[in-house]
Amino acid sequence: MSLEFRTTRRAETPAPTSVMKQNTKMGRLSLATGLMLSIAVAMSVGCGSSSKPASAPAGNGTLYTFVSDVPSCNLLSLGVFLTEMDLHKSGAPSGSNVTVWPTNNSPTSPVVEMSTLRDTMTIVNATTVAAGTYDQVVLKAVVNTAAVYNSTQSPPVSTLVPTVSSPSVTINLSPPLTITSGKVSGLLLDLNLPQSIAISTDSTGKITGTVNWQFSSRVLTPSGTTGFGEMDALYGFVRTVNSSSPGGNFTSSFLLQTLSQTSTGQGPALSVNLTKDTQLIGVSRIDQMPTGSYVEVDAYVDANGNVVANAIQVGDRESLANNKLAYIGPVLDVTKDPNTGNITQFDMLVRETEPTDPTEVANDSTVTVYVSSSTTFDQFLLSSDLANLASSGSLAIDDTNLMPGQEVVVSGVFTKPSSGPVTVAADSIYPRMQAVQGTFTSLAGTPGPDNKTGAFNMFPCNGLLAGTPFMVVTDAQSSFENTSGLNTLSPATPLLGRGLTFFSINGTTIGATGTTVPAGTMVLLAKQVRQF
């Protein structure tokens, strides 16, 4: 099954010519060459047509390690370098641990942008581990960079490198993790951001932070439909494409580089498998998917260790040699033409780029994005339910309604001036799934008979979103956690909604209950709602 992009273009407004200049210094070509060499090395250590590691030696099983986090309101970014993970075998002497990564079989250590993992998870490692029962995880982690909302700055963000009290944390496993020979196991590490990081301002006004890691863990049990758990926004760039069947019930596959290489670490390259039911968005066949393309995937890891795609959205083809990257992060502010109301430029916090170019566009840096008449605004179609809900209210991002706090992917060529921020000439822009934390204030109308279809108003705790009326819209497919539905939501404890955000300039009606959205309201179309 395939879906095509729906795009909108802005009215004719010329972009500043300076942002169209390309930097062709030899250092950039060397970086591109270095990335290709690192890819070749990574492929030589066992990345094949199957997403799981090579068959485990006798007496070994396969372990997938996932991470997620509990959100923190105004922490906009936290890049965590997971340098090493060890397991302690039950009954073994203290300190006699088994190293999971880095090893010869799993030589890389990932850098994870934790702020993107609110109510979702990602794969940080997949490798073979000796069969046995393990009762502790020993994780070593440091912070690369962080960014916080700061209303006194323009753009409203401050970056920092927090001090880590101890780079090593021991996490008890209860129940313990059992690795079975020839079988696949899953382990989730969940970071509690609010309890882990303390932000303060010193006497000079400088924002500082200290980190005391607070991780919990959970052994995952695969289910029939979502395996070890759904990942609704797995992202990276395409390294290779295999248009023939890799075996089993899979029709084709491609190699996805996730958590791309930085100056300190690199995430896993995953073979993503397609079935006859996988939705392809942006291309009609997998052999039309260019290598180097930025992609987002709704996927899960099945009980046999295969990464299986429910849907794949293919973005632009990026090129390190041509300074063209995908920039991922929240909008910080926007500038509009006073005559037309069209957006001419906006600042965004770049949490990371795909592929990564740390010498030119650093993680947690601010870039200025220029919007021109050729910029396309593509809609997020990985979730057909959310796409249909957006369509029912005529909600779509375009060059008039992009707002601070929205999570986006921008693809385009960057220019690095001698002073000032990096600028990007945007070829395409589309929204990402995001989680918004806040407080329930009131229902917006009467919920449907299922107590799931309807809407409610909330007050976001993130300063980027706090200045705009905010409504959460749900439907029959929205999931509710720690609450039975809309009628039991309470302002007593915070809640978290995960989905797609849109700004309604003129107001609209939306959904099966015909919810009225007032003009000037930010709308979150929720895939899930969790009351804390």
pLDDT for the residue numbered 359: 83
Grade residue 57 by pLDDT with cuts at 50, 70 and 90.
low
Q: Cβ contacts of residue 114 below 8 Å, gap of 6+?
A: 67, 69, 78, 79, 80, 191, 193
**What average pLDDT does the segment 62-79 reach?**
91
Distance CA 400, CA 10 (A): 8
pLDDT for the residue numbered 103: 87
Residue 84 pLDDT exceeds 50: yes
Strand partners, 231: 299
Residue 80 pLDDT exceeds 80: yes
Grade residue 214 by pLDDT with cuts at 50, 70 and 90.
very high
Q: How many residues does the chain have?
A: 532
Output the CA torsion 454→460→462→464 (10° steps). 80
**What average pLDDT does the segment 233-245 reach?**
94
Distance CA 395, CA 324 (A): 29
Q: Which has the closest alpha carbon to 123: 101, 97, 146?
A: 101
pLDDT for the residue numbered 213: 96
Tokens standing for 495?
């809640």
Least confident of 43-52, 65-74, 103-112: 43-52
pLDDT for the residue numbered 367: 97
In 212-323 the beta strands, taken as DSSP E runs, fall at 215-220, 230-242, 252-257, 269-274, 279-281, 293-301, 307-317
Enumerate the domain spans of the chain: 2-30+320-431, 60-220, 227-317, 435-531
Distance CA 347, CA 518 (A): 27
pLDDT for the residue numbered 22: 36
Helix and strand counts by DSSP (H, E) for the chain: 3, 36
Mean of the per-residue pLDDT values of the chain: 88
Grade residue 28 by pLDDT with cuts at 50, 70 and 90.
very low
pLDDT for the residue numbered 108: 75
Residue 314 pLDDT exceeds 90: yes
Residue with tokens 């797609």, as numbered in its chain: 500
CATH of 2-30+320-431, one of 2.60.120, 1.10.3470, 1.10.3110, 2.40.50: 2.40.50
Distance CA 82, CA 113 (A): 11
Strand partners, 233: none
The CA-CA-CA angle for residues 510, 513, 515, to 5°, reads 45
Residue 20 pLDDT exceeds 70: no
Residue 265 pLDDT exceeds 60: no
pLDDT for the residue numbered 511: 93
**What average pLDDT does the segment 27-39 reach?**
36
Residue 477 pLDDT exceeds 80: yes
Least confident of 120-124, 129-133, 261-265, 467-471: 261-265
pLDDT for the residue numbered 54: 56
Grade residue 485 by pLDDT with cuts at 50, 70 and 90.
very high
Distance CA 371, CA 13 (A): 8
pLDDT for the residue numbered 496: 95
Distance CA 452, CA 402 (A): 28
Report which of residues 157 and 22 the model is more confident about: 157
Residue 43 pLDDT exceeds 80: no
pLDDT for the residue numbered 119: 84
Distance CA 446, CA 450 (A): 11
DSSP state of 396: -
Residue 5 pLDDT exceeds 70: no
Are 502 and 396 a contacting pair, CB within 8 Å? yes
Three-state SS for 153-214 is CCCCEEEECCEECCCEEEEEEEEEEEECCCCEEEEEEEEEHHHHEEEEECCCCCEEEEECCC
pLDDT for the residue numbered 468: 94
pLDDT for the residue numbered 141: 94
pLDDT tens digit string along 417-466? 988 899 999 999 999 999 999 999 999 999 999 999 999 999 999 999 98
Least confident of 36-40, 87-91, 244-248, 510-514: 36-40
**What average pLDDT does the segment 325-333 reach?**
97
Distance CA 431, CA 503 (A): 12
Strand partners, 87: 98, 137
**What average pLDDT does the segment 180-209 reach?**
92
pLDDT for the residue numbered 53: 59
pLDDT for the residue numbered 42: 37
Query: Do 2-30+320-431 and 227-317 share a fold?
Result: yes
**Phi, psi angles (nearest 5°) of residue 355:** -70, 170
Residue 490 pLDDT exceeds 60: yes
The CA-CA-CA angle for residues 190, 530, 82, to 5°, reads 15
pLDDT for the residue numbered 52: 56
pLDDT for the residue numbered 56: 59
CATH of 227-317, one of 2.40.50.140, 3.30.70.141, 2.60.120.620, 3.90.1150.10: 2.40.50.140
pTM, full prediction: 0.88
Residue 302 pLDDT exceeds 60: yes
With H, G, I as helix, E, B as strand and everything else as coil, classify residue 348: strand
Residue 55 pLDDT exceeds 70: no
Strand partners, 512: none
Residue 17 pLDDT exceeds 50: no
Distance CA 150, CA 464 (A): 9
Report which of residues 49 and 274 the model is more confident about: 274
Are 457 and 469 a contacting pair, CB within 8 Å? yes
pLDDT tens digit string along 354-412? 998 888 999 999 999 999 999 999 999 989 999 999 999 999 999 999 999 999 999 99
Output the CA torsion 420→425→428→429 (10° steps). 20
Grade residue 21 by pLDDT with cuts at 50, 70 and 90.
very low
Strand partners, 254: 241, 272
Grade residue 307 by pLDDT with cuts at 50, 70 and 90.
very high
CA–CA distance from 237 to each of 50, 92, 150, 372, 375 (Å)? Answer: 17, 41, 32, 25, 21
